[in-house]
Amino acid sequence: MGNPDGATPKHIVDKLCEAARNPKNHRYSASKGITQLRNALCEWYSRRYDVILDPEIETVVTIGSKEGLSHLVLATVGPGDVVMTPAPAYPIHPYSVIIAGGEIRNIPIGPGIDFFEEMEKAYKSSWPRPKMLIINFPHNPTTQVVEGLDFFTKVVNFAKENNIIVIHDLAYADLVFDNYQAPSFLQVPGAKDIGVEFFSMTKSYSMAGWRVGFCVGNKKIVGALTKIKSYLDYGMFQPIQIASIVALRGPQECVEEIRKTYESRRDILIKGLQRAGWKVDPPKATMFVWAEIPEKFRKMGSLEFTKMLIKEGGVAVSPGIGFGEGGDNYVRFALVENEHRIKQATKGIKKVLNR
């Protein structure tokens, strides 16, 4: 799983403890998130991407981006609606649509595939026409990234021409390597007219279990999520929100440390796999390595190959088929073990591949 193994930075945990001792913070909180947290997020977007957001109507705090995304889809999609999602995909991207009673239209994604072209094809060959597009760059599980704003600009133009809602999941904003920078969808002028973006504290600040995410952008779409959440939840525990303010406004060296940890794990894994005779291109972002199964084992399919790696090599990876169509020639490594364990794992893999 993409479950960060590192501890949340100390200054954030300290703030949580302090805030938890104040009885004022023990009551129900605001469902859309406290004002100061939404303000801190707007400052982050402005500092980071030069994107200006209105904290009152263009932001909502969610219980992790997974909850936010699935409830947003529930609020906006119903039976008969078609939604385009990448395939393979992070499972909640298509499953949120299925839960809402909508229909999925797959867009192939992966190395060597022109995703925009595939998206146009999927749109034109669907009836009824899709009303929504869910995208995610840097992408889980394929680790595909977009360079600059060209791709997002094309998406915004296409969405405007065809009246499509766009949801962009930016969970891996900070887990970027080799000087690659992941753009925000909202950097494209006019993106707010048709879409929203999800950002999350999970990966950038190693706060997986805290469940803090955000949906920002188009006020009507943000409003739909805010409204359904006002029926469903009372917001997250206030000390968690207060600690998240400190995370966003405080020193950012911790984010760089987290980023570097994943980068060096990636390098060790790629080198170890190479030594095992498995050549894999290093990803530019995310906490994953998406590896094509070596030719001589490909016929087994990803599930059987994965079982073999567990039984004979003592290594657990995710079978690509678990992420949907187009995934079966691949497995996904998650960089959630320390360097020593990664080295051990690649030795186990070498044994299996070269027996």
Ligand X SMILES: Cc1ncc(COP(=O)(O)O)c(C=O)c1O
218 contacts ligand X (rule: CB under 6 A): no
| Minimum distance, C-beta of residue 49 to ligand X, in the bound complex (Å) | 18
| Minimum distance, C-beta of residue 171 to ligand X, in the bound complex (Å) | 4
262 contacts ligand X (rule: CB under 6 A): no
Which part of the chain contacts ligand X (CB under 6 A), choosing from 59-67, 227-235, 271-279, 312-320?
Answer: 59-67
- Work out which of 29, 202, 206, 241 binds ligand X, going by CB under 6 A: 202
Q: Please tell me the distance from the alpha carbon of residue 66 to that of residue 58, in angstroms, as a whole number.
A: 19
226 contacts ligand X (rule: CB under 6 A): no
3-state SS class at 94? helix
Count of residues near ligand X by CB under 6 A: 13
Label the pairing between strands 132-135 and 103-108: unpaired
- Work out which of 58, 118, 169, 328 binds ligand X, going by CB under 6 A: 169
Which tokens sit at 35? 């004002």
Q: Please tell me the distance from the alpha carbon of residue 159 to that of residue 221, in angstroms, as a whole number.
A: 14
Which tokens sit at 101? 């009673």
Q: Please tell me the distance from the alpha carbon of residue 94 to that of residue 112, in angstroms, as a whole number.
A: 22
Q: Ramachandran region of residue 333, left (φ > 0), alpha (ψ -120 to 50) or beta?
A: beta
| Minimum distance, C-beta of residue 326 to ligand X, in the bound complex (Å) | 16
Residue 98 vs 308, nearer CB to ligand X:
98
Which part of the chain contacts ligand X (CB under 6 A), choosing from 60-68, 182-190, 257-265, 321-329?
Answer: 60-68
Instruction: Give, as ranges, the residues between 124 and 153 that touch ligand X (CB under 6 A).
Output: 136, 140
Which position has the token pair 């805290």?
Answer: 210
Which position has the token pair 């029926």?
Answer: 231
The interaxial angle of helices 115-124 and 150-162, nearest 10 deg, is: 10
Residue 9 vs 272, nearer CB to ligand X:
9
2 contacts ligand X (rule: CB under 6 A): yes
318 contacts ligand X (rule: CB under 6 A): no
Q: Please tell me the distance from the alpha carbon of residue 135 to that of residue 112, in angstroms, as a whole number.
A: 17
- The contact set with ligand X (CB under 6 A) reads 2, 64-66, 90, 136, 140, 169, 171, 200, 202, 208, 213
